[in-house]
Amino acid sequence: MRVLGRVAAFVGAAAMLVAIPGNARAASPKFSETTAIGTHNAYEKDKYTYWAQALDSGASLLELDVYADSVSRRWRVSHDKPLADDNNCEYADEPGELYSKNRNQDLGSCLDNMAAWNQLHPDHAPIVVKVEMKAGFNNDAGLGPDEFDTLVSQKLGSSVYKPSDLLGGTYTSLDSAAKANAWPARDALKGAFPAVLGAAGGDPRTSRYDASIRPWFVFFDGDAATYVNNAYDTSFYATNHYILIMTDAYGVSPAISSTDPTDAEVAARLALLAKDHASIITSDWSAKSASVLGSVATRS
C-alpha cells in the first residue's frame, strides 16, 4: 500500500447491508459502513444565511473554522480573520430565536445554535461537526484543549458522540475499537453530533491530547483528487474501519462544479468515492437540496 501524505479521519469501514428475508426491515448499517456528503465552510454567509440553515441542509458534515484569539480570549469563527467573527452563527440559544438574530458570533454561539436546533430536530441524521483550528490552541490565553472540551460539553452535552462512546468501556484504545468495528448503527446516532477536530497536529492514532476522553476525534484532511487521481490505495482505512474524509470531491477526474453540479453528477461522485472507501466527501455544494446532500451510499 502506498503511504498517504495526509490521512483523513480517525475511523472508517467496508461492508454491505445485511439482507433480511421476507418483509422484515433491513438492519441499519453501521456509521463506518456508509458514505455521506458534507459542506465545506458551511459557516460562511454566502453559503447559508444562518447556521441553522446549514443544519437544515441535510449535509452529513458541516465545517467551522476557528481561531484562538489570544487578545480577547475568545474562540473566533472566521475564514481569515483571526481577531474577529465573520460567520452565519446567531446570538441565539433558544429554538424560537433561530433564523432571526445577529450573526457574526463566536464559537459558543455556533454551539448554542446547534443545541437549539437539536431541540427542534431530536431525530436528525448524524451530523459530523468538523472544527478546524486554523492556528491551533493557545494554552497561555486559556484557549487550550481543556477549555475547548469544557465549552463543547457545556453547550452540547450528550448530543455529542465522543471517542469514549466508541470505546464503550470495552476497548483500551480508539484503534482497537475501530478495528473491531465498534461503531454504532447509523440509526442509533440519530440526534447526534459526532465531533471531529482538525489541524491539531500529530498522528490521529496517538494520545497527544488524550483523545479517548476528549469530546472529539482528531483527524487530517485528505484531498479526494490526490487519493483517486493518483490511484492511492485507501483500502487500509476500510479494512480497519477508520473514518476517511475526502475533501474537494468535485476535483476528482473528471472534475465537476465545485458549487452547483447536477444532481446526477453528485450521485455519481458519491458512488465513485464510496468505492474508494470514503466515509464522507465534502465540497461547496450548499446550493443542492436536502435530498441530495442527505444522500447516503454503502461504503465499499
Please state whether the peptide bond connecting residue 145 to the residue before it is cis, i.e. omega within 30 degrees of 0: no
Closest alpha carbon to 181 in 228, 221, 131, 240: 240
Quick one: what percent of the chain has pLDDT higher than 70? 84
Is the torsion defined by CA of 56, 272, 266, 88 positive or negative? positive
Kindly state the average pLDDT of the residues 188-200: 80
Taking the model in full, what pTM does it have?
Answer: 0.87
Kindly state the average pLDDT of the residues 271-292: 97
Q: Which residues contact 37 (CB under 8 A, 6 or more apart)?
A: 59, 60, 61, 249, 266, 270, 280, 281, 282, 283, 285, 292, 293, 294, 295
Kindly state the average pLDDT of the residues 228-241: 89
Instruction: Please report which helix (H) or strand (E) contains residue 247, including its range.
Output: strand 245-247
Is the torsion defined by CA of 75, 126, 4, 39 positive or negative? negative
C-alpha cell at 85: 467573527
pLDDT for the residue numbered 220: 57
Each residue's pLDDT tens digit, 58-69: 999 999 999 999
Burial (Cβ within 10 Å: 0-12, 13-18, ≥19) of residue 61:
buried
User: Bridge partners of 198?
Assistant: 132, 219
